[in-house]
Amino acid sequence: MLDLKLEDVDGILVRYNVALEKEMTPDEAAEELYPKDKLVYPIAKAIYEGEEDDVIEGLEAAIAAGKKPIDLIDNALMIGMGVVTRLYDDGIIFLPNVMMSADAMLAGIDFCKSKTTDVPEAKGKVVCHVAEGDVHDIGKNIVVALLRANGYDVVDLGRDVPVDEVISAVVANKPIMVTGTALMTTTMYAFKEVNDKLLEKGIKVPFACGGGAVNQDFVSQYELGVYGEEAADAPKIADAIVAGTKDIAALREEFHKH
Ligand code: B12
C-alpha cells in the first residue's frame, strides 16, 4: 500500500475541486490537479502526457521504494487517469490526448500485472468482458488485474464483445461469476441481453456489472445483475460467492452502495 493517509486522500480530493481557470493552458490545469506525493506525481504526470516509458520508469521507482505493484494501479495510475478524465470532461483536453493517456494507462496496468508474482492458488474461474459496442476497457483491465492478483483464473474476452460470444464463453468455462463493464449509455443494454440469454439456457451465474454508465438501479433491473462501484469490488464479490453466497439478492444486499 502507498503511505497515503486519509488526510492525504482528502487533500487529493480537495485538489480535484480546484476551479480551473479559462486562461490556464492544459498543462497548467493538469499541474493544479497532480498529487504532491513524490512517487505518485511523476506517474500521474506521465499518464497525462501519454508517455508510456515515463509511466514505467515512475512505477519502477515506486516499486523500488517498496510499493506493491498491484496497489499502484489504484493509488497512482488511477490518480493520473482521474486528472485526464477531469480535464476531458471540462473540455480542456480532447480525444487524441485521452487516447494517448489511455494507452499509457494500459501499459502501466500491464506492467503492474507483470510485476505481481505473489499470485495465490486459483480459487475459481471468472469470465470478464466489455459490453458489445463499447471500446472503453481501462476499468475492465483493472478488474482483470485485481481478480488475477486475488487468485482467480480469468477468461478475458476483451472489449466490444458480442453478446453471443459472452454466452458461449460462459457455457464453455462454467465460471463462478461473469463481469461486464459499460461506459456508454448506448452499450449498457447489452447486459440485459446477456442476462436473458443466460437465463434462457438455465444458467444462473452472478453477473457483476460496473463502469461509468451503469449504477445500482440499472443493474438491479435484470435478474443476475450485481452492481460493483469499484474494480476492487470484483474480487470481493467473487470471494463472497466462493464462501457460499450464491443467491443474487444476498450478494446485492452485501455490496449495496448507499
Ligand atoms: C478514456 C476514455 C476514452 C478512451 C478509451 C480508451 C480505452 N482503452 O478504454 C477513447 C479515447 C478510446 C474513448 C473513445 C470514445 N469515447 Co470515451 N471516454 C474516456 C473517459 C475520458 C475516461 C473513461 C475511463 O477510462 N475512466 C477510468 C476507468 C478506470 O473507469 P471505469 O471503466 O468506469 O472503471 C471504474 C469503475 O466503473 C469500476 N468498474 C468498471 N468495470 C467494472 C466491472 C465490475 C464487475 C466492477 C465491480 C467494477 C467495475 O472500476 C473502475 C474503478 O475502480 C470518459 C469520461 C468519463 N467521465 O468517464 C469518456 C466517455 C466514457 N467516452 C465517451 C464517448 C462518447 C466516447 C466516444 C463515442 C467518442 C467519440 N466521439 O468517438 C468513443 C467511444 C467509441 C466506442 N464505441 O466505445 C462518453 C460516453 C457518454 C455516454 N454517456 O455514453 C464519456 C463519458 C465522455 C463524455 N463525458 O461524453 N474514450
Rounded CA separation 186/213 (Å): 9
Q: Which residue is closest in CA terms to ligand 1's atom 5?
A: 136
pLDDT tier at 20 (50, 70, 90 boundaries)?
low
The preferred substitution site among 179, 183, 185, 191 for testing ligand 1, maximizing ligand atoms within 8 Å of CB, is: 183
Alpha carbon nearest to ligand 1 atom 17, residue: 136
C-alpha cell at 43: 506517474
| 51 Cα: distance to centroid of ligand 1 (angstroms) | 20
Residue 3 confidence (pLDDT): 52
Q: Which residue shows C-alpha cell 470471494?
A: 239
Contact predicate 199/223, CB 8 Å: yes
Residue 118 Cα, ligand 1 centroid: separation in angstroms? 30
Over residues 199-212, the pLDDT tens digits come to: 999 999 999 999 99
Query: What's the pLDDT at 148?
Result: 87
Residue located nearest, by CA, to atom 7 of ligand 1: 136
- Please name the helix (run of DSSP H) or strand (run of DSSP E) that holds residue 226, with its range, or none: strand 225-227
Quickly state the pLDDT bin for 6 (edges 50, 70, 90): very low
179 lines ligand 1 (CB under 6 A): yes
- In angstroms, the CA 93 to CA 53 distance is 21
Residues in CB range of 206: below 8 A, 6 or more apart: 176, 177, 178, 224, 226, 237, 241, 246, 248, 251
Q: Whose CA is closest to atom 22 on ligand 1?
A: 85
56 vs 68: CA distance, rounded Å: 14
pLDDT for 156-176, tens place per residue? 999 999 999 999 999 999 999
**Angle between helical axes of 78-89 and 95-115 (0-180°, round to 10):** 170
Mean pLDDT of 72-77: 94
The residue whose CA has the least distance to atom 77 of ligand 1 is 134
Looking at the CA of residue 106, tell me the nearest atom of ligand 1.
8
Region 91-101 average pLDDT: 92
Question: What domains, with CATH codes, occur in the chain?
Answer: 6-115 (1.10.1240.10), 124-254 (3.40.50.280)
